[in-house]
Every structure is written in structure tokens, then in C-alpha cells.
Amino acid sequence: MTQKKTTLITVCALLAMAGMAQAQNTGTTTLSVTVGPEAALTVNTSTTTLTTSSTTFGNPFTGNTSLTYMIRTTKTTGTGTLSLKITADFAGTGGPSVATPPSTGDALTYTCTVSAPGTACTGSQTASTTASTGLGTWGGGASSAKAGNSASVAWSLTDDPVYAQGTYTATATFTISAT
């Protein structure tokens, strides 16, 4: 009996405590973020192979490089640019060269495609090992899609008979920037 009584008292005490009002308190923090101009680029075609359908020097070597860009420029006053530069010229003796083409008129050229909100370069551009050349531009307040937008470069390399037979490789570096 004594034990039962003790248990009953304990249960009553616990129930009394369980019935107590819930205590609650709050604190508030303001999260602040400053979103600035940004740009990012993905080169989808890591290696672009230039080929020609001709065996009579009638057509240049051509190939396409696919890009995906993300960009956000400052409202009104911002700008964006996408450019490329040949950071490693074609290697190998007797082959094509961007810096020192073996014949007058030999060149690595390209045309651009940049989806909105970008504006692609116009006409044919000649790639350079010493300067960045244009590919696309953006105005103020430009925003790409969350997943990015597309751009591409269509390359054209002169097929000169003086090029020695072989495989030649160059590196093009793309740069995108936003203000």
C-alpha cells in the first residue's frame, strides 16, 4: 500500500509539471545579401576537331565549339563581354600558325553565335595569340537564364598546301566578364 501511494504521488507530481505552460521566446536576425555583377562560362566542347570535306585545298578546316554562359550585369550601367584568345599556338614544325602563318592569307578565323540577352560579334573575326578578340557583349541589367544561355564559335582554318601532313593542336581560352 505504501508503495502504491508513493507512486500515485509521483505520477500526480509529474502530471502537474506536464501541465505547466510552455515557455517561449524569440529572436530575429536580418539576413542581408548584396548581389553584384557576375559571369561564368562553361566550354561544352573541350576538344574541337577541325576537319575539311575537301582533299583539294578548296575548303578550310572547320569546327564548332559550344559554350554555355551565365551572366548578370549591373542595372543600367553594367556591361558584359565574352572574348577569346589563342593561348597556345598550333604546335609542330611546318604546320598552321596563328602567330606566324606560313603564307599570306592563312588565318584562324571564327564567327560567333550568342543567344539573347547577349549580342554576338558580327562578321568574321581573326583569332590572335596576342590580343583577346570579341565574341559577345551584354548591356546593363542583363541576366541570363538560371541554367545559362548558349553561345558558339564556328572556326575556320585555312588549308594551305604548305602545311606538312600531321595533327596540330592549339588552345583557345575564353573569357567572360561582367560589370
Would you state the cell numbers that stand for residue 66, as one nine-digit string? 559550344
Q: What would the grid cell of residue 150 be?
A: 548558349
CB of 29 to another protein, least distance (A): 5
Answer yes or no: are the C-beta atoms of 120 and 150 closer than 8 Å: no
* Count of Cβ atoms closer than 10 Å to residue 81 Cβ: 18
Binding of residue 14 to another protein (CB under 8 A): yes
User: Would you state the cell numbers that stand for residue 29, as one nine-digit string?
Assistant: 536576425
Site for another protein in 43-82 (CB under 8 A): 70-75, 78
Taking the least distance from each CB to another protein, the nearer of 30 and 104 is 30
For residue 79, the minimal CB distance to another protein (Å) is 12
Distance, CA of 23 to CA of 145 (rounded, Å)? 47
Closest separation in Å from C-beta 179 to another protein = 10
Q: Which is nearer to another protein, 37 or 136 (CB)?
A: 37
CB neighbourhood size of 125 (10 A): 19
Q: Does 18 bind another protein (CB under 8 A)?
A: yes
Cis peptide before 117, with omega less than 30 degrees from 0?
A: yes
Q: Which stretch binds another protein (CB under 8 A): 27-35, 53-61, 152-160, 166-174?
A: 27-35
Contact call for residues 138 and 95 (beta carbons, < 8 A): no
Task: Say how many C-beta atoms besides its own lie within 10 A of residue 164's C-beta.
Answer: 11
Site string for another protein, 118-147 (x = CB under 8 A): -----------------------x-xxxx-
Amino acid (1-letter code) at residue 30: T
From 17-25, 44-52, 83-91, 105-113, give the range in contact with another protein by CB under 8 A. 17-25
- Residues near another protein (CB under 8 A): 14, 17-18, 20-40, 70-75, 78, 141, 143-146, 148, 178
